[in-house]
Structure 1
Amino acid sequence: MRHIYIMFLLFVMTVFSSCNKFLDTVPTDFYSQKNYYETADQLQVALNGVYSNMMYERMYGQVLNFNFSSTTDEMIPNRPPSGEARGLYYSSYNAGHAYIADLWRWPYLGINNANVLIDNINKPTMDEKQRGYIKGQALFLRAYNYFLLTTNFGDVPLILHSPAISDVNIPATPQADIYAHIVSDLKEAETLLEGRTVASLGYNDQVTITAVQAMLAKVYLYWAGYPVNDVSKYADVITYADKVIKSGLHMLNPDYKQVFINLCQDKYDVKENILEWGSAGAAAGETNKTGNDIGNFVGLSSSYVVFDKTSYTAASWISITKKLFDSYEVDPGSTLVNKASLDTRRDWNCPDFYYSSTSTVRVKANRPNVWQMSCGKFRREYCPEASRLNGTYNINWPVIRYSDVLLMKAEAENQVNNGPTQAAYDAINEVRERGYGTKYGNIIKTISMINGGTGYSAASPPIVTISGGGGTGATAEAVVTGTAVTGIKLTSRGNLTTGGPYFSSAPTITIAAPTTGITATATATITTGTEYRLTPGLNKMDFHQAIKDERMREMCFESSRKADLIRWGNFVADMQAFTNYAAANGINVSASGNLNGYQGLAGIDQKHVFLPKPTYELNLNKALIQNPGY
């Protein structure tokens, strides 16, 4: 939203122009609530200002997608546990930490800006539908900021109008009441935003009616979970998830990785991504900011080489976990060190390589050790060339994706009906079908060696060609051990688009002949289109575990895993069990593990379910009570 800069400029002009006449009894040359909000344009500028907070560095620009969510069973830090920022993901923070103070301050700033806008919404003479659209978005943004506060801090003060100077000591409102007000705001927003759809806008980084409905489903899901545990709310999750599903406005992108490539390339995927927080660099409708760290700290590691225009900068301070890697189904007959996965999501999310560099070019290097693999979901190599050298780039943040709605529905159906219904299976299987790449046709399933041949070199492996079978887009690399080809690694199982073409029969695999020796041979199979289906007949407990695993596979690195573990009620026990699992599975092996990440896991205890209320706020607000353990 370009208007955000205009609003900031007006603020700056206000400060400087009013300084010369600050002693005037009735100042007239700067904006206040009394002489602003007089036109529709001024309401829109104010709304843009509320949006702009969301991608600030201490919000989703860095902290919420990195610092507060990077020690779970899907991702752990790999840096030494020192420095102010690193204390957050090593669970060594306290109530005086600046980032925690900002995570309290910035949502309340957004809430205050929304409150002022809502209080003045009826001032200008304007089109009533447009007035309703602005108010509906403001209500959503207020609700979302309260959702951030209560899921991170628990009970928090509920403030619905700009407080007076004397309104300092404001007690916290119980979390259940916070959820109730969030729902109230969202339901009013749903009415006001009727007809405001992603289809009518053409972009998704402003709030639409299905964004409201998806958010209602999410709020009810959290309300049903720990610590409030009002399980009656699971029925409401189904109600609002169904509204999104039945709207016909959303569907899964047939290619999982393309969802995140589109984000890097500033392309709106309004079908898959129900709502994004916008950042500069995209089309109309997004929020201008100076940059963010999406794909940097939690990204595929690389350094920028000035002479190589394909290179980019990403620090990759966070690594995946073996639990995440192993959660994806594999081909048991694969001869690769890390067996090939039947799930296309694994090798995108968990790349077994990184980019090193020489003085002139970036170099792709193998990284077979699972504990040391980068988080590959957001890949800056797909960002515009001019921005690759920077540590920051303006990638939009996916707030709610359609797959999340499907998984919320599946989870709630299982809870409401004391076991999975057909609707629950249909929802989770729709996500899995896309994950396996077979939503619209069949792709290559396996490539098996017949004869490894002789005379090959690991330093210069032979070219693998895939031809025939009716499909396109499949690519592979040969793995050479000694002088023989010992495996074929699929780098693409085929073209994943709505129209295909897909494979109707097994393609031919051709391995280039060595200079001297015997040519290697291999054969391929294609999918049947049923591999994705979850085991039928699961009971309630086993289906719930399947949901937990599927959410990790699908939503990893999107800042939801810690919150999921908390609302499922066993965060500390789950993390302690994972710590034991990690130790038993090589995390503390210096050559192939992640000793730094292991230290981060060891410090988690019950107090980390919520963040501490900031010291500065406790000093100001004497009615506020600190969270236990701090």
Structure 2
Amino acid sequence: MKNKYILAFLFVMGLSSSCKKFLDTEPTDFYSPSNYYQTADQLQVALNGIYSNMMYERMYGQVLNFNFVSATDEMLPNRPVNGEARGLYYSYDAGHAYVADVWRWPYLGINNANVLIDNINKPTMDEKQRGYIKGQALFLRAYNYFILTTNFGEVPIILHSPGISETNIPASSQAAVYAQIVADLKEAETLLQGRTAAALGYNDQVTITAVQAMLARVYLYWAGYPTNDATKYADAVVYADKVINSGLHGLNPDYKQVFINLCQDKYDVKEDILEWGSAGAAAGVTNKTGNDIGNFVGIQSAILNVNGVFDPASYSAVGWVQTTKKLFDSYEVEPSSTLVNKASLDTRRDWNCADFIWTVNTTTATRIKTDKPNPWQMMCGKFRREYCPDASKNLGTYNINWPVIRYSDVLLMKAEAENQVNGPTSAAYDAINQVRKRAYGTMYGNIVKNITIVTGGSGYSAANPPVVTISGGGGSGATAVAVVSTAGAVTGIKLTSRGNLTAAGPYFTNAPTVTIAAPTTGVTATATATITNGNEYLLTPGLNKADFQLAIRDERMRELCFEAYRKADLIRWGNFVGDMQAFANYATANGVSATTGNAIGYSGITGITQRHVLLPKPTYELNLNKALVQNPGY
């Protein structure tokens, strides 16, 4: 789809009402609702325009996954300049430009959906295709209302394009907004029967399971704070089960591959139930201009460009957000590990918490990898631009799709809702343990668990550590690097890969052999490996309901960090202010001060109060719509 058609469509939607005031004849040189929507193709173009809005910069291209959600207990900004202007530090007010965008752009999407829905029956066309287009438009309208109510609470419900005199529209209660969202989604569920990502071959359009997964999410939020309608947990179970029992989705056995696929424009229609498509997406028809995914929330890196020659191994990312020690320490570790940061049994930790940055030396034409062992200063490594195509690595923006709903989230929603309804049943345990089993890399077999130094040897160089080779044991793909002390001894082995993590394997059936290259002069170091037994992933059995809920909270952070869920999760769990105050106390007790850790990020969370549960309604909207009431505290 060509962007010029999207822009033309949005332009028409914005001006069509006012045109009637000064034109008393049918327009002949541009489209309006009265002379558009005459064919199935025109309906599709209109639908594409609504999709395109979702990856605009002020939506999921930047704002909704960065501004206002980057200061939580899983990550903190490090941006001293313009940090306030971007809403990173809870000091925003009703006049903030990005706050206005969080209101404006969802309502633009809603208006475009309303116009399409109002005109859906105009063309003569295949009725199934008409239903598919309407179902997608209903989902998109519902999703935009979900953005609005989770950010602003009570908002106006508008289901048709308002007339020019309809300016004072009161806000509806949050429960009423959720009810409208559910009504739209349930109608969409009926209309989209049979429309699957497996059949399409891509997942950046709405399908039946995307609708059902979204219903599970909406019910989970409706059950939580501030609506607190606990009866909705049962509904969340019903819709999570629909997705699970469909057989259409499953976990990618390699956690990191989910995000590498996004960077490489590869669709994983089993893991990613829905993505917002960006330009460059492989097969979908919806696209938008470049976005900042992997840039602001990514691994800091500079471009190496010497005399106009670009080094394709380098890439551009500013890395304005860093991890927290709380996130890093939430991943289980191997107690016997001799590394400074003990090895984690959970493959997600070292992917999500990247302990390095890249700089460049143009004089020597080299890239320099700098270690960041302090968990407060590690980079958010989930979306790694190093895996993007070479042609786009030197751009500030790149067209990575945004993962809207992943299957692992559905499993965690099922576990949480099931626990709320029936307690920690076997079904609740099974759902969370599926996520954990993938996290530990043991979905289809066993991997390397740990490497223990037997003799450290001598004569090695810390600057040029020896090559480590892992072989045998029936498996493949395990790699590691040696850690050498200033005295020249090998003090630890850091696994960079625990083994091949594909469905086919091969996996390890017994401990592989570890070989450490000999020094030029000195004594060769030796080490031994152990492999997993396949049960390490299991959540502690016999938890009570309250403790199981706490386990869910930690698991969601470990699995979904940096995907813009954490703040909303803390809010719906009902103690956002208290949780953030407790985290601020934790930070000062665990290595953060005015000069250590991430002092900038810490300073931005010390003033959180109850008003920060919601964003303020924008000043410009309050001036236009006199029926609106400002949120408390602003």
Count of residue pairs the alignment pairs up: 623
Q: Which residue of 2 aligns with 1:130?
A: 129
Q: Which residue of 1 aligns with 2:555?
A: 550
Q: How does 1:59-458 map to 2 (within 5 A)?
A: 59-80=59-80, 82=82, 84-86=84-86, 88-306=87-305, 307-359=310-362, 360-417=365-422, 419-458=423-462
Aligned-partner SS, 2:203: coil
Aligned-partner SS, 1:447: strand
Aligned-partner SS, 1:486: strand
Aligned-partner SS, 1:302: coil
Residue 15 (structure 1) shift: 11
**Contact 1:14–1:31, Cα closer than 8 Å, also in 2:** no
Q: Is 1:518 aligned to 2:530, yes or no?
A: no
**Contact 2:472–2:513, Cα closer than 8 Å, also in 1:** yes
Q: Which residue of 2 aligns with 1:51?
A: 51
State the distance in 2 between where 1:14 and 1:337 align: 58
Residue 558 (structure 1) shift: 0.1
Residue 366 (structure 1) shift: 1.1
**Contact 1:81–1:596, Cα closer than 8 Å, also in 2:** no
State the distance in 1 between where 2:27 and 2:231 align: 54
After TM superposition, the score normalised by the length of structure 2 is: 0.96
**Contact 2:48–2:285, Cα closer than 8 Å, also in 1:** no
**Contact 1:279–1:286, Cα closer than 8 Å, also in 2:** no
State the distance in 1 between where 2:125 and 2:97 align: 42
Q: Which residue of 2 aligns with 1:559?
A: 564
State the distance in 2 between where 1:586 and 1:14 align: 53
**Contact 2:6–2:52, Cα closer than 8 Å, also in 1:** no
State the distance in 1 between where 2:100 and 2:12 align: 29
State the distance in 2 between where 1:10 and 1:239 align: 38
State the distance in 2 between where 1:336 and 1:166 align: 68
Aligned-partner SS, 2:605: helix
Aligned-partner SS, 2:231: helix
**Contact 1:280–1:286, Cα closer than 8 Å, also in 2:** no
State the distance in 2 between where 1:237 and 1:14 align: 35
Aligned-partner SS, 2:604: helix
Q: How does 1:608-623 map to 2 (within 5 A)?
A: 608-623=612-627
Q: Which residue of 1 aligns with 2:33?
A: 33
Question: Given the alignment, which residue of 576, 597, 604 partners 1:571?
Answer: 576
State the distance in 2 between where 1:347 and 1:10 align: 44
**Contact 1:77–1:597, Cα closer than 8 Å, also in 2:** yes
Write the letter of the residue equivalent to 2:535: T
Residue 287 (structure 1) shift: 2.5
**Contact 2:84–2:91, Cα closer than 8 Å, also in 1:** no
Residue 378 (structure 1) shift: 0.2
Aligned-partner SS, 1:465: strand
State the distance in 2 between where 1:13 and 1:237 align: 39
Q: Is 1:498 aligned to 2:503, yes or no?
A: yes
Write the letter of the residue equivalent to 2:273: I
State the distance in 2 between where 1:10 and 1:400 align: 28
Q: State the superposition RMSD in angstroms.
A: 1.6
Gaps of 5+ in 1: none
Residue 415 (structure 1) shift: 0.4
State the distance in 1 between where 2:224 and 2:61 align: 28
State the distance in 1 between where 2:213 and 2:202 align: 17
Q: Note closer, same or farther for the CA distance 1:28–1:369 as it changes in structure 2 (3 Å cut).
A: same
Write the letter of the residue equivalent to 1:358: N
Aligned-partner SS, 1:357: strand
Aligned-partner SS, 2:557: helix
State the distance in 1 between where 2:13 and 2:416 align: 51
Q: State percent identity of aligned pairs.
A: 77
State the distance in 2 between where 1:70 and 1:153 align: 18
Runs of 4+ in 1 over 6 A off after TM superposition: 10-16
Q: Which residue of 1 aligns with 2:602?
A: 598
After TM superposition, the score normalised by the length of structure 1 is: 0.97
Aligned-partner SS, 2:354: coil
Q: Is 1:480 aligned to 2:484, yes or no?
A: yes
Residue 288 (structure 1) shift: 2.1
Gaps of 5+ in 2: none
Write the letter of the residue equivalent to 1:289: K
**Contact 2:316–2:396, Cα closer than 8 Å, also in 1:** yes
Aligned-partner SS, 1:601: coil
Q: How does 1:519-534 map to 2 (within 5 A)?
A: 519-534=524-539
Q: Note closer, same or farther for the CA distance 1:14–1:435 as it changes in structure 2 (3 Å cut).
A: closer
Aligned-partner SS, 1:133: helix
State the distance in 1 between where 2:206 and 2:3 align: 16
Q: Note closer, same or farther for the CA distance 1:432–1:282 as it changes in structure 2 (3 Å cut).
A: same
Q: Note closer, same or farther for the CA distance 1:12–1:579 as it changes in structure 2 (3 Å cut).
A: closer
State the distance in 1 between where 2:443 and 2:484 align: 33
Residue 9 (structure 1) shift: 4.8
Write the letter of the residue equivalent to 2:69: S
**Contact 2:152–2:615, Cα closer than 8 Å, also in 1:** yes
State the distance in 2 between where 1:456 and 1:267 align: 42
State the distance in 1 between where 2:538 and 2:235 align: 27
State the distance in 1 between where 2:445 and 2:337 align: 23
Write the letter of the residue equivalent to 2:463: A
